[in-house]
Structure 1
């Protein structure tokens, strides 16, 4: 499974495209309010460096544990579906089939003769 892992495109389904942040998305100086060029360049360098460093440090310290927790959560959901929810739905489907058969029998015994009689009476009315 790890052999199929794409280390270049780590969000192939664009799950987190809303989190893309760049320096220009956060800071911008309007015309007439420019800082010294070296301050602007150093601000860019600091921003991108600290963004990358803090993200990498956070993932190093917490990412593996959080991934393990999400793996357990999805395993639990799969377990419930396989061993509880699907069998319960099958049992419900089987019980509903019995109720459907019982309802059809009752309707064919009680309601169908009345409907046929009414139909026979109105059959003789002609224009």
Structure 2
């Protein structure tokens, strides 16, 4: 599994495109309102440095535990779908199929003849 892990593109399905948080996506100075160049450059450096450090610390402290929890959650979801929900839906398909046949027979035997008779009765009326 680790052999197929892409360490460069870590969001191949673009799940988190909404999390654009580069310096340019957060800060912008409009024309006519510029800070001193060294302040802008240092702000850029500090932003990227602290964003990277804080993210790495958070992932070191919490990432593995959170990934383990999500792994367990998705394992349980898979378990419930495989061992509970799919068999229940199959049983419902079988039982509802029988109920559907019974309902169709009742309608065909009891209601359809009455409707056909009424249709034949009113078929002869003309405007």
TM-score range with shorter-chain normalisation?
Answer: 0.7 to 0.9
- CA 25–113 in structure 1, closer or farther in 2 if over 3 Å, else same: closer
In the alignment, what sits opposite 2:95?
95
Task: Count residues with an aligned counterpart.
Answer: 126
Distance 1:81 1:92 in 2: 15
Q: CA deviation at 1:55?
A: 0.5
TM-score by length of 1: 0.84
Write the distance in 2 (CA, Å) between the matches of 1:120 and 1:34: 87
Q: 1:46 to 1:107 in 2, by over 3 A?
A: same
Distance 1:115 1:41, change over 3 A: closer
Work out the CA distance in 2 between the residues paired with 1:107 and 1:24: 68
Aligned-pair CA distance for 1:68: 0.5
Between the aligned partners of 1:98 and 1:36, the Cα distance in structure 2 is: 79
The SS at the match of 1:51 is helix
User: Quick one: distance in 2 between partners of 1:44 and 1:103?
Assistant: 71
1:37 positional shift: 2.3
For the residues of structure 1 that align with 2:43 and 2:11, how far apart are their CA atoms? 28
Rounded to whole Å, the distance in 1 between the matches of 2:103 and 2:22 is: 65
TM-score (norm 2): 0.84
Q: Distance in 2 between matches of 1:77 and 1:91?
A: 20
Name the CA distance, whole Å, in 1 between partners of 2:115 and 2:40.
Answer: 87
Residues 109 and 46 (structure 1), Cα distance of their counterparts in 2 relative to 1, 3 Å cut: same
CA RMSD of aligned residues (A): 2.2
Deviation at residue 108 of structure 1 after TM alignment:
2.8
Q: Displacement of 1:44 after TM fit?
A: 1.3
Deviation at 1:35, TM superposition (A): 2.9
- 5+ residue gaps in structure 1? none
Q: CA separation of 1:40/1:118 partners in 2, compared to 1, >3 Å: closer, same or farther?
A: closer
Q: Which structure 2 residue ranges, 5 or more long, are not aligned?
A: none
